[in-house]
Amino acid sequence: MKKPTAKAKPGKTTVTYNPATGEKVAEYANTDLKKFPAIVAKARKAQAEWAKLPMRQRAKHVLRMRAYITEHADELARIVSLENGKSRTDALATEVIPCSLSVRWYAQNASAVLKEKTLSRSSWLFFNKQSKVIRVPWGVVGIISPWNYPLSIPFGEVIMALMAGNAVILKVAAVTLSCGKAIEDIVRSADLPEGLFTHVIGSGGEVSTAMIDQGINKIFFTGSVPTGKKLMAQAAAKLVPLSLELGGKDPMIVLSDANLERATNGAAWAGYQNAGQSCGGVERIYVQSGVYKEFVELLARKTSAIRHGADVDFNVDMGAVTTKDQYNTIKSHLVSAVKKGAKVVAESQAAASANKAGNFFPATLVTNVNHSMPLMREETFGPILPVMKFEEIDEAIALANDCSMGLTASIWTKNTKLAKKIAPQIQAGAITINDHLYTHGLSETPWGGFKESGLGRTHSALGLEEMTQPQVVNWDIMNPPRNLWWFPFSPETYNALKSALIFSAPRGPLSWIKASLHLAVFSVKKMFSKWD
């Protein structure tokens, strides 16, 4: 049986399917993009009023969402599981709980992060000048989100945008539209101004084009590297700024002194969780030669013990791959690696609920790999863990950095001091020690990568700042008729400016005193005299 994915009827509806069973989940009407200019105009009007509210008032609205999430946690986990394919336990842990945590953190911390900041003077030459930086909302932001974390990724960005004073137009992945509808319900519980939040449904390319054409102020995109590059090229024509969180090929480095029980448990979770469809999950493992054999044996036993299948009664560990296209990519990487000499040493066991209609790919442990294989160089985005041996730490660092992407990485060792020295040498946006992947759920930690893994950051104070533009406000403490460097010019003006230079960078105490006196006399004369 062919495993269906979301199907769009141009201008009409989009149908979603359960990747674990092949059954239809829902059908939704596509947004009429002829109405998109009106949607943006309504959002701008609502945003202008929303941005005037004190931060505490915004927080009061936003915090209502946390109560809704708690009350509807089971239903939200069920919806995610139905369309994404992950288990309900996985959905609760990695989607629902992080949503609740994000509401609390941004509501409590946005005011301190985004408050105006007075700047210290760079030089006493400008004793009369004072400056501050304020954070100004972009206006209307577009959020385009993926299907691998269809609830927590877009929702966290929605909360950041709202707390920063923006309006939001959200486009979720076509295969997880019920998750977008769930976000609508959560946001509706906050009683926001009409038009401040809008969820649109349709082709990703058509919606992104409409966003750019209608002058959306900024776009936040999470997805693949190729799609991110296309969007960036499209946005460049109108200089629409972007925040891009793209792919990862994240390495795990295991040193010889590591706690192998913890390391193999961590590898299994961060590599197989969500059927491996985590841009920040483990995609390649490098193990020091002295413990390589033991590590592989331990991880093989744990891989074989994992149960994959449809979540019927909470008795499976791993669910389905979300789309058929992704299933085929995972399979092609494994087939290619095996042809080049890779060895499959363990696979997970299918539960009774893993029927043939579902996109079930077993958790798979692979050895005898090298960097000539796509499995070690391209984003697999599936439940395959390739393990490679190394001798010296410098070799492991070089292997970890031998990639066009750099989202996350992890170092496993009992020597935390050593791990902290290694961390800055790895080209990735987030480095964890003796853990992996989980920082995406910590609202206080920035999320984003190096190289082709993206531009900008989401989450944390940096994510809130990405939702605003910095604006400098500068003023005079006193208001004399003229500044030192204003017209009219004269030889005395030139000499006074040279004295200003010496004042700011004196050759010694005497030169500073002489320059100071000359500058003071001339400044008073020019600043407080009339221009005749």
Residues designated catalytic:
245, 279
Calculate the dihedral angle through the C-alpha atoms of 171, 446, 230, 225, rounding to the nearest 10 degrees.
Answer: -110
Write the burial class of residue 144 (CB in 10 Å: 0-12 exposed, 13-18 middle, 19+ buried). Answer: buried
3-state secondary structure of 472: strand
Name residue 282's amino acid: V
Cα separation, 495 vs 491, in Å, equals 6
User: CA of 164: how far to CAs of 42, 107, 364, in Å?
Assistant: 18, 10, 43
Cα separation, 480 vs 236, in Å, equals 44
Name residue 16's amino acid: T
**In sequence order, which residues have a C-beta less than 8 Å from that of residue 411 and are 6 or more positions away?**
253, 255, 419, 422, 423, 426, 431, 432, 433, 434
Q: Alpha helices, DSSP H only, in 115-198?
A: 152-163, 177-188
Please check whether residue 208 is in contact with residue 231, taking contact to mean a CB–CB distance below 8 angstroms. Answer: yes
Please check whether residue 101 is in contact with residue 449, taking contact to mean a CB–CB distance below 8 angstroms. Answer: no
**In sequence order, which residues have a C-beta less than 8 Å from that of residue 331 and are 6 or more positions away?**
361
Cα separation, 20 vs 316, in Å, equals 12
Cα separation, 448 vs 494, in Å, equals 49
Give the closest residue to 284 by CA, choosing from 155, 390, 196, 423. Answer: 390
Cα separation, 96 vs 291, in Å, equals 37
Please check whether residue 63 is in contact with residue 106, taking contact to mean a CB–CB distance below 8 angstroms. Answer: no
Bridge partners, residue 221, by sequence: 144, 244
Please check whether residue 174 is in contact with residue 14, taking contact to mean a CB–CB distance below 8 angstroms. Answer: yes
Cα separation, 474 vs 497, in Å, equals 22
Q: Alpha helices, DSSP H only, in 164-311?
A: 177-188, 204-213, 225-236, 260-272, 289-305
Bridge partners, residue 385, by sequence: 365
The number of residues making up the chain comes to: 532
